[in-house]
Amino acid sequence: MTKPEILMMGPYPAWDLEDLESNYKVHRLWEAADRAAFLSEVGGNVRAIATRGEIGASAELMKALPGLEIVSCYGVGTDAIDLSHAKANGIRVTNTPNVLTADVADIGVGLLLAVARQIPRADRYVRDGHWCNANMHLVTRVHGKRVGIVGMGRIGVEVAKRLAAFDCPIAYFDINRRDDLPYTFVPNLIALAGQSEFLIVTLAGGASTQGVINADVLQALGGDGILINISRGSTVDEAALLDALERNVIKGAGLDVFWNEPNIDERFLTLENVILQPHHASGTVETRQAMGKLVRDNLAAHFARQPLLTPVI
């Protein structure tokens, strides 16, 4: 039987690629020197796209694949996939929710601890021999502090559970109140920032959330406030954030995502009050294996004419 042909937008771990290549004819777009020519050559036979959340799939790309049936995304975020085009053309889209939720929540708390307790600076303090001369300066506690969560979806709920164990009062901003949660709903984002010492962003990306963490929100968070972003770089007005960090409008920030990643603004590299992560919140062996399996299982279900496991459309 002829193997279905799929287009891979970017590299996957070896354990996923081996499985995909055993079941499909895989075309590696990221290795093509001339992508337009490559798509012209193979695009007519491609029935599926295997992509990553940060790469997505544009309408232009999908138009170059007349036989496209499904886009399977390695990641939760689908803001880089043109869902309107896919839906209008009967193209199914899947993602990998739930399997990475706990890891992302873990890194959110880890970033908060790293910023508040200044863990990287403390490590350098010991390594550089300063401890022999004097004790390190005092830092900020986490337990008992007021936390505001921006976006109370799966990841927001997991962050709240973790910080509730730190005896932190939890409030949140979202489109609607969630009656199934014991936390305080605040319908105004600036008001939430104003009452919070730690503001943790767990929103989905996309046009509706672009730049919602702006200068006014950061001003409301204030000089004792810490911002953590484990959502998408697009949710924060990065110019406003850099200004706030440089002028100490807020105390600090922990960032796993950036506007122009991986080519981030170099001003971040000079700041002592920000902890930087390479968009690696889900970067554990266990979670990446589960994500890859879900991508593969969705493709297998589609070609077996079975219900998709995690459909977006």
Query: Mind giving me the DSSP string for 251-296?
Result: SEEEES--TTTTS--GGGGG-TTEEE--S-TT-SHHHHHHHHHHHH
Output phi, psi for 97, to 5 deg. Answer: -75, 170
Reported as type and span, the H/E element at residue 43 is none
> Interior CA angle at 108 toward 105 and 112, to 5°?
145
The alpha carbon of residue 88 and the mean position of all alpha carbons in its chain are separated, in whole angstroms, by 26
SS3 114: helix
Encode 175-228 in three state secondary structure.
CCCCCCCCCEECCCHHHHHHHCCEEEECCCCCHHHCCCECHHHHHHHCCCCEEE
What's the CA gap between 136 and 4, in Å, rounded? 61
- Torsion, CA 52, CA 58, CA 60, CA 65, rounded to 10: 40
**Cα gap 205→262, rounded to integer Å:** 17
Distance in angstroms (rounded) separating the CA atoms of residues 219 and 4: 53
Backbone angles phi, psi at 71, to 5 degrees: -120, 115
Question: Which are the contacts of 275, defined by CB distance < 8 A and separation ≥ 6?
Answer: 111, 114, 115, 120, 252, 253, 254, 255
Instruction: Tell me the catalytic residues.
Output: 232, 261, 279
| Residue 206 burial class via C-beta count within 10 angstroms: exposed 0-12, middle 13-18, buried 19 and up | middle
Do residues 154 and 97 lie in contact, with contact meaning Cβ atoms separated by under 8 Å? yes
